[in-house]
């Protein structure tokens, strides 16, 4: 199978296939590329943290570079960096990614290294202890910034008593309780061929790149993953106020949103982009900042998970302006929930959103990681043209229904 467009022009779908082991492979090939990327994306995140070990997914990601049965940490951190490349990783609530970017010509070295890390990391006690302190410092510094941790605090309330109801970092106490043996068990249980997508971007032809990746990651266990956590759901509507003696009030207003597999997710994505997306002409930025100067920042977002989701608005303002700002947010949402947009306004919103997606896709690293996420979640990849067509097909009524879901939000205020 050859990619529809090997140069990666807009609308193309990269080569992909599933190996007999269950490993899924994606190759976004461009013969003119001078830089290569190799990424492994694993279907394992903080929602898979065992009770009492909250934060282990993130700690494993941090410590995965600290030594295997064959490689010392000094060798691992120098392998790609000495070539001018980078080795990195991140954790979310539902996945972990380990990836490298480097000058073309070293894909096999990168693939073998990443495969070694995700299949044979040993988490040496001394290295784990050092990294544990790094993570605890990260937790403490994060807690010092309410404008950042309010997002996780809101989700902790929204998904309380479910696998999504704790933040990715965990707590200092749980991180201190995690041992090397815990980390090795976690890796062995969840990092298996059927749970991994490996992605490549660079000049290699698809058949060569895919064979290289299949061979490099051949050591992953082919056993099925068992014992996954139960489903999550959004809590009943709540309003929580926390007094922290801050100079600014931080507010999140949010409600249940579609899951990753809900067909109504596109309408919610469009709505959230209109309300408080990255553009200066978002409705909430105009209403709260441009017209009235009440906030420095206001944004909206949607986090979608396998079985649920959350859509929310955040703003920071003077404590005396909280009620007024909340009223303005509610008014903008009510407008969209009670009166369908005109065809011209709806089309303008769609074109803007599609344009933003097009610009974002120009970043090869982001594009490749996006392809890997699609393959992990859906087992297939949509061409950007297909996504644009779905967005263009959203009706005014579908958008109105999405807004209606946000008209009775839960609220968290930290001030």
Longest distance between any two alpha carbons in the chain, whole Å: 63
**Per the domain annotation, does 48 fall within a domain?**
yes
Residues 271 and 211 in one domain: no
Residue 186: Cβ-neighbour burial (10 angstroms; 0-12, 13-18, 19+): buried
Q: Are 50 and 156 contained in the same domain?
A: yes
pLDDT of 229: 64
Residue segments in the chain with a per-residue pLDDT below the cut of 50: 1-10
pTM attached to this predicted model: 0.93
Q: CATH number of the domain at 156, please.
A: 3.30.830.10
The pLDDT value recorded for residue 120 is 97
- Is residue 130 domain-shared with residue 48, that is, in the same domain? yes
- On whether both 201 and 332 belong to a single domain, the answer is no
Asked if residue 302 and residue 193 are part of one domain, the reply reads no
Q: Is residue 228 situated within a structural domain?
A: no
**What are residue 36's DSSP bridge partners?**
102
Residue 412: C-alpha distances to residues 77, 255, 315, 390 (Å): 41, 12, 11, 33
Q: Which domain holds residue 376?
A: 239-414
User: What confidence score (pLDDT) does residue 13 get?
Assistant: 84
pLDDT at 230: 75
pLDDT value at position 227?
73
* 306 and 194 both lie in a single domain: no
Q: Could you tell me if residue 191 is left (phi over 0), alpha (psi between -120 and 50 degrees) or otherwise beta?
A: beta
Pair 384, 228: CB distance under 8 Å: no
Q: How many CB atoms lie within 10 A of CB 29?
A: 25
Of 183, 216, 249, which residue sits at a domain end?
216
Instruction: Give the tens place of pLDDT for each residue, 153-166.
Output: 999 999 999 999 99
Does one domain contain both 101 and 169? yes
Buried b (16+ CB within 10 A) or exposed e, 117-127: bbbbbbbbeeb
């Amino acid at each position: 199978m050859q990619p529809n467009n090997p140069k990666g022009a807009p609308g193309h779908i990269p080569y992909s296939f599933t190996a007999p082991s269950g490993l899924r492979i994606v190759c976004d090939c461009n013969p003119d590329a001078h830089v290569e990327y190799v990424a492994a994306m694993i279907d394992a995140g903080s929602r898979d943290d065992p009770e009492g070990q909250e934060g282990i997914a993130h700690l494993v990601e941090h410590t995965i570079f600290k030594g295997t049965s064959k490689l010392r940490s000094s060798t691992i951190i120098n392998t790609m960096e000495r070539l001018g490349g980078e080795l990195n990783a991140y954790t979310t609530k539902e996945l972990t990614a380990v990836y490298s970017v480097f000058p073309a010509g070293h894909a096999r070295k990168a693939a073998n290294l990443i495969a070694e890390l995700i299949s044979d990391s040993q988490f040496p006690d001394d290295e784990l202890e050092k990294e544990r302190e790094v993570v605890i410092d990260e937790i403490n510094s994060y807690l010092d910034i309410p404008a950042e941790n309010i997002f996780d605090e809101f989700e902790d309330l929204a998904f309380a008593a479910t696998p999504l109801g704790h933040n990715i970092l965990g707590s200092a106490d749980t991180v201190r309780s995690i041992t090397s043996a815990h980390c090795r068990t976690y890796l062995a249980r969840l990092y298996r061929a059927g749970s991994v997508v490996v992605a490549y971007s660079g000049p290699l032809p698809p058949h060569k790149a895919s064979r290289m990746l299949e061979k490099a990651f051949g050591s992953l266990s082919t056993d099925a993953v068992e014992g996954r956590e139960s489903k999550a759901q959004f809590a009943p509507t709540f309003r929580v106020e926390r007094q922290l003696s801050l100079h600014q009030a931080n507010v999140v207003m949010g409600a249940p949103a579609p899951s990753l597999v809900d067909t109504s997710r596109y309408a919610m994505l469009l709505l959230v982009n209109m309300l408080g997306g990255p553009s200066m002409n978002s409705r909430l930025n105009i209403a709260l900042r441009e017209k009235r100067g009440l906030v420095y920042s206001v944004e909206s977002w949607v986090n979608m998970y396998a079985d649920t989701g959350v859509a929310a608005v955040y703003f920071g303002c003077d404590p005396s302006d909280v009620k007024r700002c909340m009223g303005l947010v509610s008014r903008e949402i009510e407008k969209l929930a009670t009166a369908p947009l005109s065809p011209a306004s709806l089309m303008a919103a769609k074109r803007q959103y599609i344009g933003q997606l097009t610009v974002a896709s120009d970043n090869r690293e982001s594009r490749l990681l996006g392809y890997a996420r699609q393959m992990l979640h859906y087992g297939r990849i949509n061409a950007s043209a297909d996504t644009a067509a779905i967005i263009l097909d959203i009706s005014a009524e579908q958008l109105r229904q999405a807004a209606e879901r946000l008209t009775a939000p839960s609220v968290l205020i930290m001030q």
